[in-house]
Amino acid sequence: MSLTVYHAPPARSVRVVWLLEELGVPYETVAMPLDRKVLTGDEYRAVNPTGKIPALKHDDLILFESVAIMEYLLARFGPGDLAPAPEDRLYGPYLQWLHYGEAGMGPSVTMALGHRRLLPEAARIEAMAKWGEREAAACFDVLAGPLSANDYLLPSGFSAADISVAYMLLLAKFAGMSKAFPAAVSAYFERCTARPGWKVATRG
């Protein structure tokens, strides 16, 4: 069995490495530069046709969507305490939060990040940045609901859903939106980022 993660903090490969650390599964990393010429070159596109990070190689299988990789790894090597069983009453909420980290929060957070930090100054659109910030703030308020009652998104404790969501909060922080985090979300982000697996995954 050979697991290899193409990794470049703070790209979405953080989710994959963090999960592997939490699972205690052996893996190797290939350090990738956040350089568009490298990522869209023929060599890397043969691994990941999207030209983005992450990619996971498991023997002769290649996957490149971060949350799908998480589900795959949990099915193959876990889940341990990181995901409820399908018959558990928390399985539905778990899936909801697992995907909320990308599908629910991702569009608004990345819109704000792009138009505040990533795009060249001349390409930034203030109205798009404000839209992203407004929509992202609504997402933070949604998270505050369960996090006002529990330390993590599920009352059972830390799960892979927290890996998905906390990563998107990192991007929100990069976009300058951490001041919009409700107190419960700020405390949650601190708890998540104190975990050893997070520290390994985000180490540059």
Length of the chain: 204
Q: Which CATH number fits domain 3-77: 3.40.50.620, 3.40.30.10, 2.30.42.10, 3.50.50.60?
A: 3.40.30.10
Q: Among 142, 138, 146, 153, which Cα is nearest to 98's?
A: 153
Q: Where in the chain is the domain with CATH 3.40.30.10?
A: 3-77
Q: Note down pLDDT in tens along the chain; length 204 residues.
A: 699 999 999 999 999 999 999 999 999 999 999 999 999 999 999 999 999 999 999 999 999 999 999 999 999 998 889 999 999 999 999 999 999 999 999 999 999 999 999 999 999 999 999 999 999 999 999 999 999 999 999 999 999 999 999 999 999 999 999 999 999 999 999 999 999 999 999 996
Say which amino acid occupies 170: L
CB 152 within 8 A of CB 188: yes
CB 165 within 8 A of CB 100: yes
C-alpha–C-alpha distance, residues 162 and 166, integer Å? 6
Coil, helix or strand for 58?
strand
Q: Where in the chain is the domain with CATH 1.20.1050.10?
A: 91-195
H or E element: which one contains 62?
strand 61-63
Q: Which CATH number fits domain 91-195: 1.20.1050.10, 3.50.50.60, 3.40.50.620, 3.30.70.360?
A: 1.20.1050.10
Q: What is the pLDDT of residue 204?
A: 63
